[in-house]
Amino acid sequence: MGTTPTLQIKNLHVAIDGKAILKGINLTVNKGEIHAIMGPNGSGKSTLASVLMGHPKYEITDGTVLFKGEDVAEWSADERGRKGLFLAFQYPTAIPGVSVANFLRMALQARRKEMGQEKPLPPKEFRALVTKQMALLKMDESFAGRYINDGFSGGEKKRNEILQMAVLKPEIAVLDETDSGLDIDALRIVSEGVNALAGPELGVLLITHYQRILNYIKPHHVHVLVDGRIVKSGGPELAHELEAQGYDWVRDTQAA
């Protein structure tokens, strides 16, 4: 018997309001791997991210999503997060009145409970952990006292998500269009954060429209999503071919 894949998507078909969006996705992401999903607008990339995190408006009409061998269909988004499946959204929500530090403390406590650690991290250890990870992301310490995403710039929102990832230590992180709206400095810092966290204990599924983030985060595998299907998979060189030739090139090779 082989080991159970960390995240396994099998023949996934998804519809919204009766319209088919994903049409048979097969994908396996294990800890220690970085996979990039690229595709033109409207190909189903963000739908895939939303389904992985249990967004209620998307209907799975066929297939399964397994996390460590368990079907996640009935899990709430909150439960998925506690169990170690993390999603960084394209457009993170503001939560006025809840500070970054308090949110992280509550989320970490829930995650630790799920892992069988009943006691919360002592305040001193928690502060040290957050301070260390904020330094990694070149974030000012005052950031911890701000309300989540309230008045944050695009770069601050993305750094905040990577900070959550650094503190919660998920097993799979789904990064949906993490590069959208970032200037080159913010992109580099966010990418450095992801690279620092990537390793044998974390699998990353990076969903992106552009190749530029892949100049900073080096994927092991690249998959091209067109019209709800993965039409081509390859190594990092595939991203460069897409950058040079565009998505029509993939469509043309499929049609040929």
> What tens digit of pLDDT does each residue of 46-96 get?
899 999 988 888 999 999 999 999 999 999 988 999 999 998 866 667 778
Q: Is the residue at 130 inside a domain?
A: no
- Give the residues across from 8 on adjacent strands: 28, 66
Alpha helices in the chain (DSSP H): 45-52, 77-83, 100-114, 123-136, 154-168, 184-197, 237-245, 247-255
Q: Is the residue at 213 inside a domain?
A: yes
> What tens digit of pLDDT does each residue of 139-159 get?
889 999 999 888 888 788 888
> What tens digit of pLDDT does each residue of 102-140 get?
999 999 999 999 999 988 899 999 999 999 999 988 888
Q: Is the residue at 63 inside a domain?
A: yes
The span from the CA of 45 to the CA of 176, in Å, is: 8
54: domain range? 7-95+171-255
DSSP 42-110: TSSHHHHHHHHTT-TT-EEEEEEEEETTEE-TT--HHHHHHHTEEEE-SSPPPEEEEEHHHHHHHHHHH
CA dihedral 145, 147, 150, 153 (to 10 degrees): 30
**pLDDT (average), residues 33-38:** 95
The domain that contains 63 carries what CATH number? 3.40.50.300
- Number of domains within the chain: 1
pLDDT at position 1, please? 47
Q: Is the residue at 105 inside a domain?
A: no
Q: Is the residue at 239 inside a domain?
A: yes
Q: Is the residue at 227 inside a domain?
A: yes
> What tens digit of pLDDT does each residue of 192-211 get?
888 888 889 999 999 988 78
pLDDT at position 203, please? 96
Q: Is the residue at 41 inside a domain?
A: yes
pLDDT at position 90, please? 60
Q: Which residue in 100, 81, 87, 78 sits closest to 149, CA to CA?
A: 100
Asked if 95 and 147 count as a contact pair (C-beta separation under 8 A), the reply is yes
pLDDT at position 36, please? 95
Q: Is the residue at 153 inside a domain?
A: no
The span from the CA of 110 to the CA of 104, in Å, is: 10
DSSP 80-91: HHHHTEEEE-SS
pLDDT at position 124, please? 96
